[in-house]
Amino acid sequence: MPARGRPSSIHRFPVILTRSAIAALGLLVLHPAEAPAQVPSQEVQIAMAVQAAPADRRDGARVLGYAEDGSVVVLREGENDLVCLSDNPKQEGFSAACYHVSIEPYMARGRELRAQGVEDPERTQRRWEEAEAGTLPMPEKPATMYVLSGESYDPATGEITERYLRYVIYTPWATAEETGLPTRPIGPASPWLMFPGTAGAHIMVSPPQEGG
């Protein structure tokens, strides 16, 4: 299905992607530190990935993970509308995400561009342009992504140290005027609209972290 476009009168790509703005996206670090690491088994990768999903949605989620060469592969086909991406063993710390299937074209295109050596901010800008042109499908309704991070994962216990879960709700081309949301956080766990008016517009909800 073609992506939902917006009239040019709204304003096209008004946001300059600064380093701090990209970091706030939360799913991928701008320049992740890489270290030699063994790729976990398929079972362990699946167990890590689905922890980002609500408990009652984990068993049916489609799961993506990593092969030995660093490429993203399908570890398990899904039975519901969630896609989960496991932790990248070549990056420090722990990070997994689960998101509605309608966001997958956007995420898959980002992975494709990164494999081609395209990094942010160009990677994000190119996806916005493709979405605006109608060649990259975007969610037609609000679609949620769950982002789970931490220091490390223990495969024996399934425990994540410094566990932190935050929420991103994609609402392409949404504006502050349409939603009534602020464009900056105004308090702990307050929802706010990031990149308003663009294909990448999304609502951020970041609960307070333990210890501050």
Q: What is the CA 164 to chain-centroid distance, rounded?
A: 14
| Residue range(s) defining the domain that contains residue 97 | 8-205
Residues of the chain with pLDDT under 50: 1-4, 7-16, 18-20, 22-35
Asked if the structure places residue 211 within a domain, the reply is no
Give the pLDDT score at 63.
98
**DSSP secondary structure of 95-110:** EEEEEEGGGHHHHHHH
Give the pLDDT score at 107.
98
Give the pLDDT score at 117.
96
Asked if the structure places residue 2 within a domain, the reply is no
Tally the C-alpha atoms within 13 A of residue 130's C-alpha that lie toward its C-beta.
Answer: 16
**DSSP secondary structure of 83-152:** EEE---TTBSSEEEEEEEGGGHHHHHHHHHHHHTT--TTHHHHHHHHHHHHTSS---SS-EEEEEEEESE
Contact between 56 and 98 (Cβ < 8 Å): no
Distance CA 209, CA 86 (A): 22
Those residues with Cβ within 8 angstroms of residue 105's Cβ, 6 or more apart along the chain or in another chain: 136, 137, 138
Give the pLDDT score at 22.
44
Token representation of residue 113: 């561009």
Give the count of domains, the chain.
1
Give the pLDDT score at 188.
87
Asked if the structure places residue 14 within a domain, the reply is yes
Those residues with Cβ within 8 angstroms of residue 40's Cβ, 6 or more apart along the chain or in another chain: 48, 89, 155
Asked if the structure places residue 17 within a domain, the reply is yes
Asked if the structure places residue 3 within a domain, the reply is no
Asked if the structure places residue 82 within a domain, the reply is yes
Asked if the structure places residue 102 within a domain, the reply is yes
Asked if the structure places residue 210 within a domain, the reply is no
